[in-house]
Amino acid sequence: MAVVLKSAQEIEKMRRAGKVVREVLELVRDHVKPGATTLDLEKVAEKRIAELGAKPAFKGYHGYPCVLCTSINSEVVHGIPSKKRVLKEGDIVSVDCGAVIDGFFGDAAITVPVGEKIAPDTERLLKVTEASLQRAIETVKPGATLGDIGAAVQGVVEAEGFSVVRDFVGHGIGSHMHEDPQVPNFGLAGQGMKLRAGMVIAIEPMVNAGKPGVRVLKDGWTAVTNDGSMSAHFEHTVAVTDTGARILTD
Ligand code: MF3
Ligand code: CO
């Protein structure tokens, strides 16, 4: 599949979807507390997406059962909300949400601490992962390359002794949640496809406190770190404009 450039009008639709995703994520953040279950978060999100006149992007996607992915601690991505999963003080939970409006998608993720105190290294993992996303977004402009994005993420992450997950990548996004190109969180500056105005991509660093290896559990979805280390995930949907990046999910 080739890269599909978006018109200004299409990007406005994606902005509307992006705003829904942001509002839902911030609402879910407010509900993250010790004793809450990840199914509680799912219910809050499902209701709000409907109220905002959007459709969830994930539910039914390749059979995925929910509107959110909720991934706790050593879970990297694609954790399935469940009433059996009770959040506790010191945990971290990654919340990933996608929405569709008028046929166009928005996709974003945050990782949230549970309660008041998390371990200092875990706090640092969250800060560094978010910073790696911001640094990657700063590289975005016409003529920059996918390698510039990957190298930016990797540089920030590895300077702190953490590692970038390689088995999952970011992606183009538009009238489908996943479009070309793939957007790896590792690479070499100057290499790979050049960005053009009108491209829209989801940049989504997944960062492990330990080694980069991950595996998928028997549920067929939940990806976890092989070494049991903590993992964080932040994601924005970003349009390439003549002057640089426009974040559609802030
Ligand atoms: N944001 C993720 C992605 O871009 C989650 C979607 S996977 C789903 O791949 F199956 F849960 F929808
Ligand atoms: Co995504």
Q: What is the pLDDT of residues 71-122, one digit of tens each?
A: 999 999 999 999 999 999 999 999 999 999 999 999 999 999 999 999 999 9
- What's the whole-number mean pLDDT along residues 37-66? 98
Is residue 97 exposed (0-12), middle (13-18) or buried (19+ Cβ within 10 Å)? buried
Q: Closest residue (by CA) to atom 6 of ligand 1?
A: 58
- What's the whole-number mean pLDDT along residues 119-136? 98
Percent of the chain residues topping a pLDDT of 90: 100
List the domain boundaries for the chain.
8-128+157-183+197-247
Pocket of ligand 1 (CB under 6 A): 58, 61-62, 64, 69, 78, 96, 98, 107, 171, 202, 235
Centroid of ligand 1 to alpha carbon of 53 (angstroms): 20
Query: Residue 158 belongs to what H/E stretch?
Result: helix 146-159
Q: Strands (DSSP E) along the chain, which ranges?
A: 55-56, 68-72, 75-77, 92-101, 104-113, 163-164, 170-172, 179-183, 200-203, 206-208, 214-216, 223-225, 231-233, 236-241, 244-247
What's residue 21's pLDDT? 99
Among 69, 200, 214, residue to substitute to test ligand 1 (most atoms within 8 Å of Cβ): 69
Q: How far apart, in whole angstroms, are the C-alpha atoms of residue 183 and residue 165?
A: 12
| CB 137, CB 234: distance < 8 Å | no
Centroid of ligand 1 to alpha carbon of 224 (angstroms): 15
What's residue 221's pLDDT? 98
- What's the whole-number mean pLDDT along residues 60-74? 99
Mean pLDDT of the chain: 98
Query: How does pLDDT run across 180-239, given as a tens digit for each residue?
Result: 999 999 999 999 999 999 999 999 999 999 999 999 999 999 999 999 999 999 999 999
In this predicted structure, the answer to whether residue 240 has a pLDDT above a threshold of 80 is yes
Q: Check: pTM over 0.95? Answer yes or no.
A: yes
- Class of the CATH-defined domain 8-128+157-183+197-247: alpha beta
What's residue 1's pLDDT? 76
